[in-house]
Amino acid sequence: MTEWTIMGAGAVGCVLAGLLSRRGEPVSLLLSERHRGHLHPSLELITLSGQHELVHTRPLFAEQAAAVTTLLVTTKAYQVIGALSALRSLPAATPIILLHNGMGLLDEVLAHFPHNPVLAGVSSHGALKEGDWLVRHTGKGETWLGPANEAARACAGLVEPLARALGHAGWSEDILGLQHRKLAINAVINPLTASHDIRNGQLLEPRFAAVLEQLSEEVHRVMARLGQQESLARFRRRLRSVIELTATNYSSMHQDLHHGRRTEIDQITGYLLGRAGELPVPVCRQLYQDIRRRQGR
């Protein structure tokens, strides 16, 4: 049995820690420097049924990376490289599973860790941080892992304990395609809800119909350029389904902007803009500039 070390004690990381721990999986949290010298309390998880459960995890810091056997990276996208670079003693055999939002970091991770198995992943579990070490599981979702390098192919067995803990986990040889599918949804919902200070479900109000139509068309156009074969109509159906399923949720970008934190706009909308080429994407560009302006960078 491997110990799952989670880097990124935010909402998603803590929910995954709770779900793994509930199934008897050993879990440690790789904490940042700001947690050093503080008491590491039990994590409190509010389950989908509303129950409060205490989750016990082992605290680790960067200099203890030699003890990490499986690493789940759930930090903000812009924190990934810096956080991983601090793990100088991470064993070359330790799988690194990237479960952050956004894209565009993989080549740099592979350059830093050329010998480690590196897995890319996507997860649609909903999570909300309600306080210090208090997180709510707001929605059950799917989790997919796939190989980002050849060494990762030997790690397909990791999906089995994940599936038991999370309710679903699968292996995909087309993980890049799955990442693009998730990014496309995020590139519509996240910047729109953050810019207008609304919950996800409010995007279905008539006042957003026109911008939702144009933005979804722009995002789909870029995705098609990247090789996605999903039709525009099907993408819009999938987008509407996600909005409906998460109607009462605030997007992560909304929460970051609301609390004065840096957002992942560069790794979501910025990723699209960097790959749009000559395609016209005025709404994407306007939202990108708006979020960047609001976060002061």
Residues serving a catalytic function are: 182
Nearest Cα neighbor of 175 from 119, 231, 114 is 119
Q: Which tokens hold the place of 255?
A: 């929460």
Quote the radius of gyration of the chain (alpha carbons, Å): 19
Sign of CA dihedral 205, 206, 207, 209: positive
Question: What is residue 199's three-state secondary structure?
Answer: coil
CA 46 to CA 129: how far, in whole Å?
A: 10
Listed in sequence order, the DSSP H helices in the chain are: 11-22, 80-85, 106-112, 159-166, 175-196, 209-225, 232-245, 252-258, 269-275, 282-294
Tell me the C-alpha to C-alpha distance, in Å, between residue 159 and each of 19, 92, 110, 131. 14, 20, 21, 30
Strand ranges of the sheet holding 143-147, from the earlier edge strand across to the other edge: 58-60, 27-30, 4-7, 70-73, 96-98, 118-123, 143-147, 170-171
What is 29-78 written as a DSSP string? EE--GGGTTS--PPEEEE-TTS-EEEE--EEE-GGGGGG-SEEEE-S-GG
Per the document, the length of the chain is 297
CA 187 to CA 251: how far, in whole Å?
A: 11
